[in-house]
Amino acid sequence: MAEPKRESEGGGVAVVRTSTQPWAEVPHQGRFQQRRKHLGGERLSCGLWELPPGKKSFPLHVHHCTEEALFVISGCGQVRTPGGLTAVGPGDFVSFPAGGPAHQLVNDGTEPLVYVAMAAVGEADVVEYPDGDKVGVLVRKGAQAGKRFLFRPGAQVGYYDGEPDA
């Protein structure tokens, strides 16, 4: 992911001007589609996102090591959790604590849903995807994604499986 263009301001503060940042398409498939302006951050990653009408942000998921949050700028939608749907709109802030309920953002409105998303990222994360019966493991190198492993929980092997000296 390319670092955003920053301008130095008085006092050494770096400012990202979102009006000059290009939108980047996020890999999408089916009803999953959105685009992002990466705003920066190492331990607190931040981005401006736009979710088109009728689309979903990501598969329903829960991070076990990463806290996420979003702040809605414009448009309306729903936050989906195992407990149901909760309407969100301009000015709403939603927090997703690490290990909390699985969540997903759905734009069921008629205009793009624009929001700022933040994530307190560490060096590793474990993510469960209940609808897809998957588990993801992500290892980061600084602010950049490193390796991602996706697997089905039922495909696990024993610790010593395949070891020649076991």
Contact partners, residue 60, CB within 8 Å, separation at least 6: 80, 102, 103, 104, 129, 130, 131
| pLDDT tens profile 41-78 | 778 889 999 999 999 999 999 999 999 999 999 999 99
Amino acid at 84: G
Structure tokens, 62: 């829960």
- pLDDT of amino acid 14: 77
Cα angle value 133/146/98 (rounded, 5°): 50
- pLDDT of amino acid 29: 87
| pLDDT tens profile 7-34 | 655 667 778 888 888 898 888 888 888 8
Looking at residue 136, the DSSP 8-state letter turns out to be: E
Determine if the pTM surpasses 0.75.
yes
Q: 42 by DSSP, 3-state: which?
A: coil
Which residue ranges form the domains of the chain, and what is each CATH number? 32-122 (2.60.120.10)
| pLDDT tens profile 100-137 | 999 999 999 999 999 999 999 888 999 999 999 999 99
